[in-house]
Amino acid sequence: MTGNHPDSGPAATPGLATRVAAAARRLARLTVRPLAIVVIVTVAVLGTAAGVTVHELSGSAGRQCQRLFVPAFFYASSTWQQAATSKPPPAFMILDISGVGAGTAPQPHFKAVVSEAQAAGVTVLGYSSTALGQRPVAQIEQDVRDYKAWYGVTGVFLDEVTGTAGQLPYYQQIASYIHDVNPGSPIWINPGIYPDQAYMSVATVVMSFEGTYAQYVSDQVPSWAHKYPASRFVHTIHDTSQAQLGNAVSLARSRNAGYVYITDGSGPNPYNGLPSYWSALVAAVAGGCPAG
């Protein structure tokens, strides 16, 4: 996910050029993606490497229950608390220490905010960049160990994923290690577009869209994506006004995205705070879930 990320105070920008380049690659691929016929199929399909339980897709897209997640690429304790204490709280928050991974030493500030979020029922994921498949696997494995030892975080968010078939073995190796160290832990990957379908055997959740609202309106969903439960996909939409919020939530539901984050944030880091309409976002997403 493109943007500045916190270190031990004001946001730092390690790896920003790489993430900007990755965003450009995603945009280029969005322009050539073939038009897919959207087919909703209630079939449970999952490679065993993902280590998750599959549930059938139930009901129409409009009745799917979505959950919020938050890319918490900010430092302030008050912002972490605002997100984690929402009713309902986000299902997931992403912890990013350095813009690359877990950093070089534990940060007491982040240990505190992570503990509070976990106590509120939020699953926290540790951010680890794969640098489009070029980052050494050993460095990512070190992130996995450090997030667990320093913050009690076992789920992992792998960013800058190419999603191409040729690099699948690289990501399979990483996923296998994560599940060896943290059995059953969630693995999220972010290609920012729909990857080669084989990546569904690697990840618990795939970020199959990351971009602006203007791009999202014309985004296309491949037919194979509806063979999986909505809980396998997350969409992240920035540069979205409050007037566009309702349509963005509706589109995400119709496109089989079980997790969503929508913000009016923009610029190099649209995730350096919560959206100005945070309460409205919480209500809009929760409104798609049946009471109780």
According to the 3-state scheme, what is the secondary structure of 134-201?
CCCHHHHHHHHHHHHHHHCCCEEEEECCCCCHHHHHHHHHHHHHHHHHCCCCCEEECCCCCCCHHHHH
**Token pair for 92:** 């997931």
Instruction: Spell out the domain ranges in the chain.
Output: 64-286
Q: What is the DSSP letter of 189?
A: E
Look up residue 41 and give its amino acid: V
> Contact at 8 Å (CB) between 114 and 124?
yes
Q: Are 123 and 151 in contact (CB under 8 A)?
A: no
Give the pLDDT score at 32.
Answer: 36
Element (H, E) at 194: none
- Gap between the Cα atoms of 172 and 189, Å rounded: 12
Tokens of 290: 């049946």
- pLDDT tens track of the chain, all 292 residues? 854 555 445 433 334 334 444 444 444 444 333 333 233 333 333 333 343 333 333 333 334 689 999 999 999 999 999 999 999 999 999 999 999 999 999 999 999 999 999 999 999 999 999 999 999 999 999 999 999 999 999 999 999 999 999 999 999 999 999 999 999 999 999 999 999 999 999 999 999 999 999 999 999 999 999 999 999 999 999 999 999 999 999 999 999 999 999 999 999 999 999 999 999 999 999 987 765 4
pLDDT of residue 134: 97
Q: What is the reported pLDDT for 65? A: 85
Task: Tell me, letter by letter, the H, E, C secondary structure of 96-126.
Answer: CCCCCCCCCCCCHHHHHHHHHHHHCCCEEEE
Task: Write down the CATH number for the domain with range 64-286.
Answer: 3.20.20.80
Q: Which of 104, 58, 75, 90 is nearest to 5 (CA)?
A: 75
Q: Distance (Å, rounded) from C-alpha 185 to C-alpha 94?
A: 14
Dist. CA 24–CA 275, nearest whole Å: 24
